[in-house]
Amino acid sequence: MTRSPESSPLGTTQRWVLVLVAVALALGLVMLRGGIQSESPMEQLARRSLDPQIALNNGRPTLIEFYADWCQVCREMAPSMLELEQSSRERLDVVLVNVDNPRWQDLVDRYDVNGIPQLNLFNAEGEPRGRSLGLRSSEELQLLSAALLENQPLPPLPGVGSISRLPGPSSADSALAGTSSQPTAGPRSHG
């Protein structure tokens, strides 16, 4: 014996109410998870990020953030970084480099990344201007980007330092000092 819709324990009105409640719950979950766009701000930035070499050679100041997906501080800073990227597009390149991606190991080594988030700041000619370690507020990121865009000195913020180019020792100096030109083990080498 098959039941007809009329003999169902729920009436038509009750079924429609259940359908509407289910739809409302589904929409509520989507909104709680950040809307229909499921990418986090960090994922959006990483996806849209230029290759560092392109950014450093295109005539715009560049801010490179060394980050990791598991870094809570990096995730906390990501909405401010995304806001900065969106507000300064076509004037400043915001580039993300994941320290866990072997593709970027040469950059991690070259820029001596020992903690994250680390921001490396470059002028429009691709020359290093400074470095920032740790969490930066939206206001601090705006100050750093303004200094880069206006080719001004970096703001005196804790954890921000200028980078100067010191001449490296010559081979004769190294031989005299009894040192080799081999790189030393860094904190990330675990050596």
Whether residue 91 lies inside any domain: the answer is yes
- What is the reported pLDDT for 34? 55
Whether residue 64 lies inside any domain: the answer is yes
pTM of the shown model:
0.67
The answer to whether 67 touches 73, Cβ cutoff 8 Å, is no
Instruction: Encode pLDDT of 14-35 as tens digits.
Output: 889 888 888 888 887 767 755 5
Whether residue 62 lies inside any domain: the answer is yes
The answer to whether 119 touches 52, Cβ cutoff 8 Å, is no
User: In one letter, which amino acid is 70?
Assistant: W
Whether residue 189 lies inside any domain: the answer is no
Please pick, among 45, 46, 64, 71, the residue that the annotation labels catalytic: 71
Whether residue 100 lies inside any domain: the answer is yes
Please pick, among 74, 84, 95, 99, the residue that the annotation labels catalytic: 74
**CATH for 138:** 3.40.30.10
Answer yes or no: 71 catalytic.
yes
Question: At which residue do the structure tokens 């980050």 appear?
Answer: 67
Q: Where are the beta strands (DSSP E) in the chain?
A: 62-67, 93-98, 118-122, 128-133, 160-162
Q: How many domains does the chain have?
A: 1
Q: Whole-angstrom Cα distance, residue 135 to residue 119?
A: 10
Q: Whole-angstrom Cα distance, residue 78 to residue 72?
A: 10
- What is the reported pLDDT for 171? 39
- Give SS3 for 64: strand
Whether residue 187 lies inside any domain: the answer is no
Whether residue 32 lies inside any domain: the answer is no
Whether residue 3 lies inside any domain: the answer is no
Cross-strand bridge partners of residue 121: 63, 130
Mean pLDDT is lowest, of 4-8, 93-97, 146-150, for 4-8
- Could you tell me which of 142, 145, 140, 134 has the C-alpha nearest to residue 157? 140
pLDDT band, residue 61 (cuts 50/70/90): very high
Mean pLDDT of the chain: 82
Q: Which domain holds residue 74?
A: 41-161
